[in-house]
């Protein structure tokens, strides 16, 4: 599910039931945070490879959260700090945030989430602003 406002992509929510077999990239190629899913059968071989140094410029942090165990409520904000979407994410669901803001509420004990984002992380003061 794409969260779009004013023609801008703010976030992508990918539920566990949305998976497609093979390699499926969820994010547009021009986003800083690139997220894809794999769904393969036994004995599938992915060729050995390495990523080469290729300087890129990222002007903001984008992040992906993946719920491993438990449940969270994710709230997505537009660039004016207005809520544009809320969703409950459970084990196997993921969210990629591109623009605007976001907040998370943990809804179950022992919830485990993986967070990935582009870096480098400079500091809280230079990389974040709190939404009131």
pLDDT of residue 132: 81
| pTM of structure | 0.90
Residue 121 within any structural domain of the chain:
yes
Could you give the number of structural domains in the chain?
A: 1
Burial class (CB within 10 angstroms; exposed 0-12, middle 13-18, buried 19+) of 51: exposed
Residue 112 within any structural domain of the chain:
yes
Residue 47 within any structural domain of the chain:
no
Domain harbouring 97, CATH code: 2.60.120
Angstrom distances, CA of residue 93 to CA of 14, 55, 102, 108: 6, 31, 16, 15
Q: Would you say residue 47 has pLDDT above 90? A: yes
pLDDT of residue 121: 82
pLDDT of residue 103: 97
Pair 100, 83: CB distance under 8 Å? no
Q: State the average pLDDT over residues 32-42.
A: 94
Q: For residue 124, which phi and psi values (nearest 5 degrees)? A: -60, -40
Q: State the average pLDDT over residues 51-57.
A: 91
Residue 16 within any structural domain of the chain:
yes
Confidence band, pLDDT 50/70/90 cuts, at residue 72: very high
């Amino acid at each position: 599910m794409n969260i779009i406002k004013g023609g801008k992509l703010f976030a992508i929510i990918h539920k566990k039931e949305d998976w497609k077999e093979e390699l499926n990239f969820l994010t547009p190629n021009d986003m800083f945070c690139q997220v894809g899913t794999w769904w393969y059968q036994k004995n599938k071989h992915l060729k050995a490879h390495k990523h080469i140094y290729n300087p890129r410029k990222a002007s903001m942090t984008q992040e992906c959260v993946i719920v491993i165990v438990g449940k969270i409520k994710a709230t997505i904000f537009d660039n004016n700090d207005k809520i544009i979407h809320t969703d409950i994410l459970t084990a196997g669901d993921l969210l990629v945030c591109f623009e605007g803001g976001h907040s998370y509420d943990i809804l179950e004990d022992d919830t485990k989430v993986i967070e990935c984002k582009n870096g480098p992380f400079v500091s809280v003061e230079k990389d974040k602003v709190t939404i009131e």
